[in-house]
Amino acid sequence: MGFQLYARDWVIPHVHGQEAETYSTQEAVERAIKYGAAIQYEPVAASPFFRYTDEQGRRHEVWFEDARSAQAKFDLIKQYNLRGVSYWVLGYPFPQNWVLLEDNFNIKKLM
């Protein structure tokens, strides 16, 4: 299963060709606090998100991962007996993930 370790921040409404800003899950939480946005959880996608308006009056929607969403994805891996997980963009900090990973699986490092 592919698993992202970053947040995506979309300006809404979306304009064709416009890319989302990418940053860490910790930065996502910091932005939610900065803009007074309530973090919500979408149960079907099993992911948290929030909306905010920036200083230029542009509306944003941010989707990211947290401990709840990581656990939901790990539960799917176990439910479907998948053979592993691959991470996208390892450069962003997400310390909760590594603790949950070790709690859920026997880690094998292949070299």
Q: Would you kindly state where each structural domain of the chain is located, as residue ranges? A: 2-104
Answer whether residue 32 shows pLDDT above 90.
yes
d(CA 64, CA 25): 6
Averaged pLDDT score across all residues of the chain: 92
Vertex 46, ends 8 and 39: CA angle to 5°? 60
Tell me the C-alpha distance between 6 and 3, whole Å: 9
Helices 67-79, 95-104: crossing angle, 10 deg rounding: 30
- pLDDT tens sequence across 40-58: 999 999 999 999 999 999 9
End-to-end CA distance of the chain: 20
State residue 80's pLDDT score: 96
- pLDDT value, residue 86: 85
Name the fold adopted by 2-104: Chitinase A; domain 3 (3.10.50)
